[in-house]
Amino acid sequence: MSSRAKLTVRSILRLFSCASLMMLVLFSCAHAADRGTIATVHPLATRAGEEAYAKGGNAIDAAIAAAVTLAVVDGHNSGLGGGSFILIHRANGRVEAIDAREMAPARAHRDMFIRNGVGDISLSTKGALSIGIPGTVAAFDFLMGKGSNLTFKDILLPAAELAEQGFPINKIYADRLRDSAADIRGFPETAAILLDPKGEAWPLGHHLIQTDLALTLRALAEKGSDHFYKGEFAQAAARWMEANGGIISAKDFADYQWVSREPVKSTYHDYTVYGFPPPSSGGVHVAQILNILEHFDLEALPVAERYHVMAEAMKQAFADRAHWLGDPDFAPVPKGLLDKGYAATLAKKIGLKKRLKNISHGQPPNATLDTFGKHTTHIAAADKEGNWVAITTTVNTDFGSYVTIPGTGVIMNNQMDDFAIQPGVPNSYGLLGTEANSVQPLKRPLSSMSPTIVMQGKRPVMTVGAAGGSMIITEVVLALVNKLTLGMPLYDALAAPKIHHQWRPDAIVLEDSVPEGVRKDLQQWGHVLADYPDWGSTQAIAVDRHGNLVGVEEPRLQIRNSETGQK
């Protein structure tokens, strides 16, 4: 197999085909005249955050303004029909984690996606059964009453106006729409919005108007989240479900609760790293991978050996993810995965020039005795008072379930695919799972979302998060290592070549820019290589060497849109 050989494994390519998660990062502005700053993947969302500041809002206001705007202009990634993880470092030093992850409906059951004894991924990725109860609206409404300066109405009405007036589709949106058009055609309500009268995807630059979504945003502005969970929206969703073979009821919406959880806290050299706890696997495994990497002098290693070591650390963490991780309210998730001694044991398995073979999950200390508890906490934002906030929000794969609830303009998630629909059956990102992440009523599926905040002493110095399914975890690790260990400027840390390993399939996925010499070394050491040209996206903020705050959005997305003259 040549160094440019590509795996013909559908799952590993599908892995990154959906930039399904969105990281919103906000930070205190160094300019005395400004209230704060915001970085997102879309200029209209960034502008919405800036306008919230201009109205007297703080970072919470700006974050939610950006998020609801993304629901309008970036609907393939996120929206009102999805879920969110929110991580905050408040000015008083308190770190909070709010879990607005989707929940399985009360009628969900372990074998709901099994047909003729085999897990059917088409049922978990498209249509009525793939949808979980959305959590984003509940969390945003809550946040607007906890430390914000503006009202939910102040935030929602500008987004409603944008949906009414429309916006030009950028290259990324047009590409995702084109790739999803065949599936969208099967769902008339969604096709009526996103496809032309001939059933073709709207092209680059098309002015997309979403009248029904505007009406939903206005209703939320007037009635709050009760409209979504106890009012007209919940009733419309329940009617559609009953008519289309779904199992979600109006009561499922009424019973939804966001959860406040204790953040994952770990150390990496002289930094303290806060991540999101289960049902996110991101916080646990970002910390676990960093714990393993602490045992290697990454800065001194040649590039190929550094990639080798990082891939082997990723591989072992993802093997543990498949076995141990799930919703901590339903399955015991061992805190021992964060144990430094356990990481040292895993690090000792890694040789500098030899691939680990036959890897399976490890046995962290006190695996059944010391587990993540059933807690509640979650949020994200940052302003001149010293609050730092990160929100990762999603509808899962591109355009979620493809279902739009009639008359609402809201595209629903397909988050049920993040459960292990059957042992040994990979989800749409190629990830495997066990009983810990099996389908159960009112359970939250495992996620890779990894909003992260880094402290040095008592001062926040970096926040980072990413999009791209299972790649989110490794993107965050790469950004942290490049910035904190290798000392790269933040833009360079995000622009550097990316690698990914998720245990199964047993291959290192490499960006095209990785040099041939590095590829040859990795192959010589036993690695199977796979190329992929379209990676996820990372957003980050860090304090530079002069003490200034620098925010960077994914360099690759900037390049892709600049190729068409869009900004």
Tell whether omega for the bond before 277 is within 30 degrees of 0, i.e. cis: no
d(CA 205, CA 172): 11
In the structure encoding, which two tokens stand for residue 61, read together?
């206001």
In the structure encoding, which two tokens stand for residue 168, read together?
């030009």
Q: Is 134 exposed, middle or buried (0-12, 13-18, 19+ CB in 10 A)?
A: buried
The yes-or-no answer on residue 40 being catalytic is no
| 8 Å CB contact between 308 and 342 | no
d(CA 115, CA 118): 5
The secondary structure element, H or E, covering residue 552 is strand 549-552
In the structure encoding, which two tokens stand for residue 451, read together?
């909003």
d(CA 197, CA 110): 40
Write down the catalytic residue from 345, 371, 376, 434: 376
For residue 299, the tally of other CB atoms under 10 A from its CB is 10
In the structure encoding, which two tokens stand for residue 328, read together?
């901590």
Distances (CA, A) of 21 to 81, 85, 263: 13, 10, 20
Distances (CA, A) of 26 to 254, 262, 495: 31, 21, 20
User: Among all chains, which residue has been given the structure tokens 């005249």?
Assistant: 33
Task: Point out which residues pair with 88 in neighbouring strands.
Answer: 96, 389
Whats the size of the chain, residue-wise?
567
Distances (CA, A) of 157 to 14, 127, 293: 36, 30, 47
Please spell the DSSP secondary structure of 421-438, one letter per residue: SSTT---TTS----GGGB
In the structure encoding, which two tokens stand for residue 229, read together?
């969970």
d(CA 171, CA 565): 10
Task: Point out which residues pair with 100 in neighbouring strands.
Answer: 84
The secondary structure element, H or E, covering residue 393 is strand 388-394
| 8 Å CB contact between 211 and 163 | yes
Tell whether omega for the bond before 279 is within 30 degrees of 0, i.e. cis: yes
For residue 64, the tally of other CB atoms under 10 A from its CB is 33
Q: HEC states along 416-482?
A: HHHCECCCCCCCCCCCCCCHHHECCCCCCCCECCCCEEEEECCEEEEEEEECCCCHHHHHHHHHHHH
| 8 Å CB contact between 551 and 544 | no
Pick from 77, 85, 84, 81: nearest CA to 42: 77
Distances (CA, A) of 328 to 210, 279, 314, 332, 391: 38, 6, 22, 6, 21
In the structure encoding, which two tokens stand for residue 345, read together?
């044991």
Catalytic residues, which ones? 376
